[in-house]
A = this chain, B = another copy of it.
């Protein structure tokens, strides 16, 4: 039953992991408040399917080319300069050290899953380069060395020293878990020791102007058990009261007051999402209720007022920030890839704390749409912004190989590389299946019983999922299968016996004594769905979005009959049933955009060329008698992978 692609790779030995430590992406195995515990990236081998192709491109194209670009842009030379081995000017923004760290973490996740000698060698070389730049006292940041050494920690709100350290520590932990090598982690912890020696409640005050290091410190605490790392994270989350920031800075930087005082998501979206992630890590280790209360409030604000249907967050270019409630403009959507990624990190942590499926719904929404859109199909171009509408201006370069602030590309890379580690969790007496994709989990229950779980599915193109459960010995436990929020009408059968209809937005719990060869058949109703936004989202009034399983769809001009401009088209819902799945023609087009299901539907269009029509005109009967045609929709993540064209997620309708 092994898909042929995987079998081939296994024969070639390419999928053999290097991992010295079989640990999950975040290791909540000893976290007092974690109900769920992840499985290692190494434990899951994906078969043919949606993410396998995306991950192949990530590994074969994105990671190697990004490493070259990091070299070309002097990011590694910055370390050589700091080490005194190369006399070059420092290049890039203050936070650019983090870019190579994120790349390294992505590399480590690849290596956790299977060996890749070329990527391993690149990573080892980078680690040597980085560690050589560490100063004798443990300080490590390429900006504040030599003539700038005296400026360390002088501009804590903006200088990103702790942000860079956070990414270094995350890379270091992932690298250790991939290879067993601790060189980078030792170096990172030396910098932490330097901080602990100099800063803290009874020493000099310290602040993080861009939350990130909290997650990393807590993962180091999980990895090596030193409680001072957890305490330092807590100190930063609480904010040192000796540091006074103005109101704008507190909002923008998402720091400067105790995390748990927050009531709304505001300010810089990436900072906000990373702060929430770190705060959830803190809750997982301590159970501090004030933190979870704040996180609950913020999650409501996120999902009920401030999240695009693509999972994108951060509406405003100005300050890369959250907007007002329901301020979700489509064309102007800022929706930085990193913000949606931070949102995923947060959801994953909330899920470990609660085992509630709603967090995975948001995770999956961001993953398939607002994050997935960030990498081009060929793997060489990245989105910083992921807008929901494009006017087709060739000057709008939404996808680029490099950004001066190139935070998003390696962030997307680490998500794709680590993806197998987000598919399953265990709890005391259960296995949880969060995501559906062909492949095999080889892991064990928490009592140590070895367990293989094999998924056969073409999700998200099809909703049919076969889950083969093979414990090493017959064993009573609960298999929890996630039923997405949109999956009303899902059906479930165990060894051919129908189960009670599973509830959407929940885990369908199948408690029984499992034995090798048991087969679960889950059918998720993947069909076109029409979705409306709350009328408070002013930009979406009179429009609807089309979804298909976890995928949000969009219209691109290139796929339409004349007129090509998508803004000329109005979905025609006047025929009874036009809003039902049956009104759409779903078709697998293997040669389009790497292979996608397209959706077509009846529509009407403006009789005249819109650009020649007046800006304002007397209101008339409108689309009632307009010429008709059939429009085609494609998955949002594939937008702008061809030539410049108009694009819209929210499509006007008439009925």
Contact = CB atoms under 8 A, between A and B. Distances in A.
Interface of A: 303-305, 307, 309, 317-318, 324-327, 329-332, 389, 391, 393, 529-539, 541-545, 565, 567-568, 570, 579, 606, 610-611, 613-620, 622, 648, 652, 655
Contacts of A537: 615
Nearest to A544: B619
18 contacts: A303-B615, A304-B614, A304-B615, A307-B615, A324-B331, A325-B391, A330-B538, A530-B618, A531-B618, A532-B616, A532-B619, A535-B570, A535-B610, A536-B567, A538-B648, A541-B543, A541-B652, A542-B542
A542 B543 contact: yes
B539 A539 contact: yes
Given A318-B318, A391-B324, A620-B532, A539 B329 contact: yes
Given A325-B391, A330-B538, A536-B610, A617 B567 contact: no
Contacts of A622: 532, 655
Contact of A326 (B391, B536, B568, B618): B391
Contact of A652 (B309, B542, B568, B620): B542
A614 B534 contact: yes
4 shortest interchain CB distances as A-B pairs? A542-B542, A530-B619, A532-B619, A541-B652
A380 B303 CA distance: 40
Contacts of A544: 619
Contacts of A532: 616-620, 622
- Determine which residue in A535, A543, A565 has the highest number of CB atoms from chain B within 10 A of its CB, and name it: A535
A567 B542 contact: no
A325 B391 CA distance: 9
Given A325-B611, A327-B331, 9 more contacts: A318-B318, A324-B391, A325-B391, A326-B391, A327-B332, A531-B617, A531-B618, A534-B616, A579-B619
A126 to B, nearest CB: 34
A12 to B, nearest CB: 44
Q: How many copies does the complex hold?
A: 2
Nearest to A530: B619
Contacts of A529: 618
Contacts of A317: 318
Nearest to A652: B541
Contact of A613 (B325, B534, B614, B616): B534
A533 B617 CA distance: 6
Nearest to A569: B535
A609 to B, nearest CB: 10
Contacts of A534: 610, 613-617
A542 B332 CA distance: 19
Contacts of A568: 535
Contact of A538 (B539, B545, B613): B539
B619 A393 contact: no
A231 to B, nearest CB: 36
A346 to B, nearest CB: 17
Nearest to A651: B541
A620 to B, nearest CB: 7
B579 A567 contact: no
A451 to B, nearest CB: 36
A297 to B, nearest CB: 15
A568 B326 CA distance: 13
Contacts of A331: 324, 327, 329, 538
Contacts of A389: 538
A539 B543 CA distance: 10
Contacts of A326: 391, 615
Contacts of A543: 541-542
Contacts of A307: 615
A283 B201 CA distance: 69
A648 B615 CA distance: 19
A614 B531 CA distance: 11
Contacts of A541: 541-543, 652
A654 to B, nearest CB: 9
A620 B529 CA distance: 11
Nearest to A646: B536
Nearest to A612: B304
A329 B606 CA distance: 22
Contacts of A305: 615
